[in-house]
């Protein structure tokens, strides 16, 4: 048996419905923004249950533009977690602000009990990540933002299809970012991103900013950028949105089988699942003793496990000037040594899960 990680060839093996819409698009020549992009933005805003969705070229751009729309810039500080994908911190850097890291908790999310000690007069925002498609303790983060008058910008790039307290990630913060990178729960055939907000004025600014600051063909209000979602991708996304619910159900079913079985192993630690939440399982992760040896063993047995990631952000060469060191964030450093990601995607089922469980059991026996 093979438990493969990359399901894209399967997902995109039959594209007839997408091709039909692409033909309509090609006939219309509506190649920059246009009605397909608008339609997708409306559908996505409704899905997240927010007033505005502004699509972008990537999730990284969505994060950068979200921060920029709030006026965050040089000499400002943004509090974030040290165990995310590079883009979370890269975006803070891109607007000239300083990332202030916080350690991760036992669910690999930002440790909300360690945020308050980092807040000072330079702090402008908290940027929590819905890491792996699970959610941080968002209510506590919202309380802190109120108490200290800070913006919250959610990195919901892995969170499309998740929920927490009956709301979607990306429906809590002031301006929030999503990604449709190929291995996200809602994915396109390349790159794509979205920004969500309930603020009319900010939305208006972002709609213009991501398209050169243009009011119309001959006039710009301010200097902007080109970060437009491609209409071809908006069509892929609209088709993906229809299947999203069933994808999340399948992933949760697989994850539950792993949770139920792996939590009995003394060499494995599975994170607690928050009540009142649904995860996307963009990554199914646990802490495994002898992780590196186990990874080799699983790969030898045709199980494509992965590591996300072996080096936390504060120990990356790129973070040198921030002056963190080994020991600055012990929890995330320990997790970087023990975390393993197992495939639970929608093209796998119970037999794949039991195969992985059996192999892990054999390894520790």
Ligand X SMILES: Cc1ncc(COP(=O)(O)O)c(C=O)c1O
**Residue ranges that bind ligand X, judged by CB under 6 A:** 58-60, 84-85, 87-88, 129, 155, 157-158, 179, 181, 191, 193
Q: Please, which residue, 41 or 191, has the CB nearer to ligand X?
A: 191
Cα separation, 227 vs 255, whole angstroms: 35
- Report in angstroms how near the CB of residue 113 gets to ligand X at its nearest: 21
- Report in angstroms how near the CB of residue 62 gets to ligand X at its nearest: 7
- Report in angstroms how near the CB of residue 273 gets to ligand X at its nearest: 19
Inter-residue long-range contacts of 90-99, CB under 8 Å, 24+ positions, other chains counted: 90/60, 91/60, 91/63, 91/64, 91/66, 91/67, 91/127, 91/177, 92/67, 92/127, 94/64, 94/67, 95/64, 95/67, 95/68, 97/67, 97/72, 97/73, 97/124, 98/122, 98/322, 99/313, 99/322
C-alpha distances in angstroms, 199 versus 50, 57, 94? Answer: 9, 21, 23
Q: Please, which residue, 281 or 363, has the CB nearer to ligand X?
A: 281
Cα separation, 226 vs 72, whole angstroms: 20
- Report in angstroms how near the CB of residue 30 gets to ligand X at its nearest: 23
Cα separation, 336 vs 316, whole angstroms: 12
Which single residue brings its beta carbon nearest to ligand X? 59
Q: Please, which residue, 234 or 257, has the CB nearer to ligand X?
A: 234
Q: Please, which residue, 170 or 363, has the CB nearer to ligand X?
A: 170
Burial label for 313, CB within 10 Å (0-12, 13-18, 19+), is: buried
Q: Please, which residue, 194 or 357, has the CB nearer to ligand X?
A: 194
- Report in angstroms how near the CB of residue 357 gets to ligand X at its nearest: 27
- Report in angstroms how near the CB of residue 86 gets to ligand X at its nearest: 8
Q: Please, which residue, 84 or 145, has the CB nearer to ligand X?
A: 84
């Amino acid at each position: 048996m093979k438990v493969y990680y990359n399901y894209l060839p399967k997902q995109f093996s039959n594209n007839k419905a997408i091709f039909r819409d692409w033909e309509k698009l090609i006939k219309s020549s509506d190649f920059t923004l246009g009605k397909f992009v608008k339609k997708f933005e409306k559908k996505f805003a409704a899905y997240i249950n927010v007033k505005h969705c502004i699509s972008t070229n990537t999730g990284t751009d969505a994060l950068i533009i979200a921060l920029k729309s709030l006026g965050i810039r040089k000499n400002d500080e943004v509090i974030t977690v040290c165990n995310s994908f590079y883009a979370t911190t890269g975006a803070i850097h891109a607007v000239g602000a300083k990332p202030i890291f916080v350690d991760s908790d036992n669910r690999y999310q930002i440790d909300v009990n360690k945020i308050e000690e980092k807040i000072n007069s330079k702090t402008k925002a908290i940027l929590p990540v819905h890491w792996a498609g699970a959610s941080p303790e968002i209510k506590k983060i919202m309380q802190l933002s109120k108490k200290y008058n800070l913006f919250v910008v959610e990195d919901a790039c892995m969170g499309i299809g998740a929920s927490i307290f009956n709301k979607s990630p990306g429906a809590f913060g002031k301006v929030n970012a999503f990604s449709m990178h190929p291995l996200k729960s809602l994915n396109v055939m390349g790159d794509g991103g979205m920004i969500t907000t309930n603020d009319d004025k900010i939305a208006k600014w972002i709609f213009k900013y991501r398209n050169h600051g243009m009011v119309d063909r001959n006039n710009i209000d301010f200097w902007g950028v080109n970060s437009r979602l491609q209409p071809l991708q908006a069509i892929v996304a609209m088709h993906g949105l229809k299947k999203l619910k069933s994808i999340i159900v399948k992933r949760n079913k697989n994850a539950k089988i792993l949770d139920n079985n792996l939590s009995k192993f003394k060499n494995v630690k599975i994170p607690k699942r928050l009540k009142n939440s649904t995860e996307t399982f963009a990554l199914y992760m646990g802490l495994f003793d002898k992780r590196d040896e186990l990874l080799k063993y699983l790969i030898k047995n045709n199980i494509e496990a992965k590591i996300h990631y072996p080096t936390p952000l504060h120990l990356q060469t790129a973070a040198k000037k921030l002056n963190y060191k080994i020991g600055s964030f012990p929890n995330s450093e320990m997790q970087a040594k023990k975390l393993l990601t197992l495939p639970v995607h929608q093209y796998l089922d119970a037999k794949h899960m039991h195969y992985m469980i059996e192999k892990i059991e054999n390894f520790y026996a």
